Chains A and B, each alone.
Chain A
Amino acid sequence: DVKVTQSSRYLVKRTGEKVFLECVQDMDHENMFWYRQDPGLGLRLIYFSYDVKMKEKGDIPEGYSVSREKKERFSLILESASTNQTSMYLCASSSHPGRGGGYTFGSGTRLTVV
């Protein structure tokens, strides 16, 4: 069964900490994405990557960075966590859009910043 695995289901961090959220996929997908999900706002794209070491900003990149050193792994970094970054974070991967596969999602990481 193909999978996107997020390393933590729940995290509690303190304001100002540097936070790493890890995502690994086993489908050899080219594209990987990080979204945050907040009630009433749906999913908002933070960053995405279409190849190793390549990244593009999404709609809300401020306060975040990403790293993709290997094809299967895409990390989201909160440089200095703040309380307004308390949210559900979802990682997804997809094959080339021409194949029309849509996304496969991980189970999510619920981050609380105190």
Chain B
Amino acid sequence: AQSVTQLDSQVPVFEEAPVELRCNYSSSVSVYLFWYVQYPNQGLQLLLKYLSGSTLVKGINGFEAEFNKSQTSFHLRKPSVHISDTAEYFCAVSDREADSWGKLQFGAGTQVVVTP
């Protein structure tokens, strides 16, 4: 089964600074990759996804992520954060071949705290 590691549990960042959230997964088999964001007391919202094709994926709110198959990574970046980006971010993986139901395996989450 897949496992997902988010290397940072919390990332403090100043407003307008760049941020990178790291995500590694366990298998090099064919995968779908996702990043979700969770604002306080809400469910998860899809930021972006990688299914196939270009390894650089652009999502909502100015976020982008790069799929690196050789390093089994899918790091999330934003060049300039806002206070409103304060939230928890989850990386998720679905194994295309082993799992026909599309179950997602989630990382433990990274809490981003943006300060002025």
Chain A residues within 8 Å of B, Cβ to Cβ: 4, 9, 31, 33, 35, 40-43, 45, 48, 50, 56, 58, 90, 92, 94, 96-97, 100, 102-108, 110
Chain B residues within 8 Å of A, Cβ to Cβ: 4, 6, 9, 32, 34, 36, 41-46, 49, 51, 90, 92, 94, 96, 99-104, 106-109
Q: Is the CB of A102 within 8 A of B42?
A: no
Q: Is the CB of B108 within 8 A of A40?
A: yes
Closest residue of chain B to A103 (Cβ to Cβ) is B104
- Besides the contacts A4-B43, A42-B109, what 19 more A-B pairs have beta carbons closer than 8 Å? A9-B41, A33-B103, A42-B107, A43-B106, A45-B103, A48-B101, A50-B101, A90-B43, A96-B102, A97-B32, A97-B100, A97-B102, A100-B49, A102-B49, A103-B104, A105-B36, A107-B42, A108-B41, A108-B43
Closest residue of chain A to B107 (Cβ to Cβ) is A42
Say whether chain A's binding surface is mostly helix, strand, loop, or mixed.
strand
Residues in chain B near residue A40, CB distance under 8 A: 9, 108
Instruction: With both chains docked as a complex, state the minimum distance between the C-beta of A32 and any C-beta of chain B, in angstroms.
Output: 11
Cα separation A48 to B73 with both chains bound (whole Å): 27
Cα separation A9 to B49 with both chains bound (whole Å): 28
Cα separation A21 to B96 with both chains bound (whole Å): 30
Instruction: With both chains docked as a complex, state the minimum distance between the C-beta of B27 and any C-beta of chain A, in angstroms.
Output: 16
Closest residue of chain B to A33 (Cβ to Cβ) is B103
Closest residue of chain B to A58 (Cβ to Cβ) is B103
Contact check: which of A48, A56, A90 meets B44 at CB < 8 Å? A90
Instruction: With both chains docked as a complex, state the minimum distance between the C-beta of B109 and any C-beta of chain A, in angstroms.
Output: 5
